[in-house]
């Protein structure tokens, strides 16, 4: 009997913690806290949904003591239709009241019949129609919904916007902030991820709108909460937001692997009060308690090979600048539809990537000139050498018109926007660094002006160095 009870308890806890994976980005194990401590006493008295639990005395932490007693089975997912959940992450800092734009948007999907699932990440700069409003970045839908008292608020308008532009129903939503994330990852003992390329982000933002540099080497890494959050949110890689979306999906699966560990279950159960205190006020969802439990159990039945992943990246969008100077992504609807079908249907094939980034860069064949807008000598030449190693066509570097540029900028003279945006991500420049200025007489397609905010990227060592031209002072 003891073995049976232990196994049943293990399945229950795994279902709860797996629900955290399904329901929200990096919420890990949150439904355990929600289940045990969110008005559990009144739920138990008022409903027969949870017959497996009895409520005891209040603990020293001020939370009700809940004991699991195997009895009736836990709620099961009875539906046969595919279930889609919109997950939104907001960058809510302590003491801020909002409203907020969404920092992260992804849709999680699961098919109860085929036991398959998927994740689709949506870039925040995707330029789309927002129902009831004008076109805008998709991450502003939540903000507008709260500001203008849309029925259901920001989450409801975000759901409607995603439905309208993807053409798939969104059945539920989960919104969370990232304040609790670090503690939650630490509570499960951290996560293991494989870092494909070294990441060095000297401009990762801190809580005071300054910088908190982030570095992680390539290879397998065990990340604590702080490192995991930075890994999931940094944009300081050549792929920018697209790379970030892929890392977020990687982190979700790393959390899944950690939570599934049988030897971890007793620790997670014992730390449920901490989980609850961490999550309180950080999560908003329209999922009911019984549906959370049922989805968690359903998730345990989906094998990893039946999960599909997708990111609406450069293959499905086009860089564009609006009339008021916003740098956005225009959806290529036909291609995006293929990716949608791959994620949200069982038999659709993986879309063929019609054009790799290298092909797009080669087609533009932009001529680039780097200008030093600071007093740091050699900055332009060092950056020129680095970009030449990446295969770009660079002219001799020079000084800018003055040496007190506070921020770096990339000026596009001839409409070669894709290269300019790629360079901005490669060099780790701030969002909005790319500007447009029609000038066919400039003598080159793109000018990179390096400002005081620029953190130089070190060129790769050359196997057989050759004498460099005499440096130009100030470059």
Same domain as 325, residue 381: no
Same domain as 285, residue 166: yes
Residue in the block written with tokens 């950056």: 383
Same domain as 237, residue 90: yes
| 394 located within any domain | yes
What was the pLDDT predicted at 350?
A: 79
3-state secondary structure 74-93: CCCCCCCCCEEEEEEEECCC
Strand partners, 108: 85, 119
pLDDT digits (tens, 9 = 90+) for 409-431: 999 888 788 898 889 888 888 65
What was the pLDDT predicted at 361?
A: 87
Q: Retrieve residue 56's tokens.
A: 């005891």
Distance between CA atoms of 110 and 115, rounded to whole angstroms?
7
Contact by Cβ (8 Å): 150, 157: yes
In sequence order, the 6+-apart residues with CB closer than 8 A to the CB of 269 are 9, 13, 32
Same domain as 304, residue 244: yes
What was the pLDDT predicted at 258?
A: 77
Same domain as 109, residue 230: yes
Indicate the angle between helix axes 289-300 and 2-23, nearest 10 degrees.
100
What was the pLDDT predicted at 227?
A: 92
* Mean pLDDT in order along the chain per 10 residues (475 residues): 44 43 35 32 36 45 45 74 91 73 91 92 94 94 95 96 96 81 79 88 78 89 90 80 84 76 59 62 75 76 85 86 82 91 89 73 91 94 92 94 92 85 83 75 92 76 43 44
CATH number at residue 384: 3.30.70.2390
Contact by Cβ (8 Å): 135, 150: no
Helix (H), strand (E) at residue 111: strand 102-111
**Judging by DSSP bridges, how do beta strands 398-399 and 172-177 pair with one another?**
unpaired
Strand partners, 119: 108, 309
Which phi and psi angles does 70 have, rounded to 5°?
-50, 130
DSSP code, position 352: P
C-alpha distances (whole Å) from 160 to each of 1, 167, 453 are: 49, 10, 39
Distance between CA atoms of 324 and 449, rounded to whole angstroms?
22
Same domain as 388, residue 326: no
| 230 located within any domain | yes
| 398 located within any domain | yes
pLDDT digits (tens, 9 = 90+) for 250-271: 887 787 777 666 556 556 656 6
pLDDT digits (tens, 9 = 90+) for 152-161: 999 999 999 9
Same domain as 205, residue 93: yes
CATH number at residue 257: 3.40.630.190
| 6 located within any domain | no
What was the pLDDT predicted at 66?
A: 43
Same domain as 251, residue 166: yes
| 32 located within any domain | no
What was the pLDDT predicted at 289?
A: 66
Domain interval for residue 428: 359-450
Distance between CA atoms of 251 and 257, rounded to whole angstroms?
10
Q: Retrieve residue 370's tokens.
A: 């780097």
- Cβ neighbours of 472 (radius 10 Å): 15
- Cβ neighbours of 50 (radius 10 Å): 18
C-alpha distances (whole Å) from 439 to each of 196, 322, 392, 443, 446 are: 39, 18, 21, 9, 10
Distance between CA atoms of 402 and 475, rounded to whole angstroms?
12
Same domain as 286, residue 419: no
| 8 located within any domain | no
As for how many domains the chain has, the answer is: 2
Indicate the angle between helix axes 30-37 and 2-23, nearest 10 degrees.
110
Q: Cα 449 from chain centroid? A: 29
Same domain as 367, residue 223: no
Q: Burial, 466: exposed, middle or buried (Cβ in 10 Å; 0-12, 13-18, 19+)?
A: exposed
| 89 located within any domain | yes
| 306 located within any domain | yes
Same domain as 380, residue 322: no
Same domain as 238, residue 115: yes
């Amino acid at each position: 009997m003891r073995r049976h009870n232990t196994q049943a308890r293990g399945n229950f806890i795994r279902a709860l913690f797996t629900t955290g994976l399904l329901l929200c980005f990096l919420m890990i194990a949150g439904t355990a806290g929600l289940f045990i401590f969110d008005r559990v006493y009144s739920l138990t008295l008022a409903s027969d949904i949870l017959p497996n639990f009895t409520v005891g005395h209040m603990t020293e932490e001020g939370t009700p003591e809940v004991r699991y007693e195997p009895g009736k089975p836990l709620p099961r997912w009875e539906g046969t239709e595919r279930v889609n959940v919109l997950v939104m992450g907001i960058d809510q800092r302590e003491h801020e009241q909002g409203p907020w734009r969404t920092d992260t948007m992804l849709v999680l999907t699961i098919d109860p019949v085929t036991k398959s699932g998927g994740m689709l990440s949506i870039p925040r700069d995707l330029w789309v129609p927002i129902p009831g409003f004008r076109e805008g970045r998709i991450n502003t839908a939540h903000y507008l919904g709260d500001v203008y008292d849309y029925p259901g608020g920001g989450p409801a308008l975000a759901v409607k916007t995603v439905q309208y532009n993807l053409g798939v129903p969104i059945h539920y939503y989960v919104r969370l902030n990232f304040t609790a994330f670090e503690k939650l990852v630490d509570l499960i003992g951290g996560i293991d991820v494989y870092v494909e390329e070294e990441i060095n982000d000297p401009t990762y933002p801190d809580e005071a709108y300054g910088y908190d540099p982030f570095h992680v080497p390539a290879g397998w890494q065990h990340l604590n909460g702080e490192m995991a959050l930075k890994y999931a949110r940094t944009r300081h890689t050549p792929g920018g937001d697209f790379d970030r979306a892929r890392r977020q999906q990687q982190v979700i699966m790393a959390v899944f692997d950690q939570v599934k560990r049988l030897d971890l279950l007793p620790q997670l159960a014992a730390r449920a009060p901490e989980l609850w205190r961490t999550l309180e006020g950080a999560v908003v969802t329209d999922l009911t308690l019984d549906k959370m439990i049922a989805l968690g159990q359903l998730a345990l039945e989906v094998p990893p090979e039946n999960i599909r992943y997708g990111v609406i990246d450069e293959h499905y969008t086009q860089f564009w600048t609006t009339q008021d100077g916003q740098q956005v992504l225009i959806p290529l609807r036909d291609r995006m539809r293929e990716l949608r079908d791959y994620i949200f249907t069982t038999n659709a094939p993986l879309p063929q990537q019609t054009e790799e980034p290298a092909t797009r860069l080669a087609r533009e064949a932009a001529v680039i000139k780097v200008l030093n807008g600071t007093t740091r000598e050699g900055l332009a030449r060092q950056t020129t050498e680095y970009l030449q190693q990446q295969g770009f066509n660079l002219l001799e570097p020079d000084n800018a018109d003055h040496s007190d540029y506070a921020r770096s900028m990339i000026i596009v003279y001839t409409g070669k926007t894709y290269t300019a945006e790629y360079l901005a991500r490669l060099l780790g420049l701030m969002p909005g660094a790319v500007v447009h200025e029609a000038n066919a007489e400039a003598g080159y397609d793109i000018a990179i002006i390096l400002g005081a905010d620029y953190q130089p990227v070190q060129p790769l060592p050359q196997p057989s160095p050759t004498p460099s031209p005499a440096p130009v002072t100030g470059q």
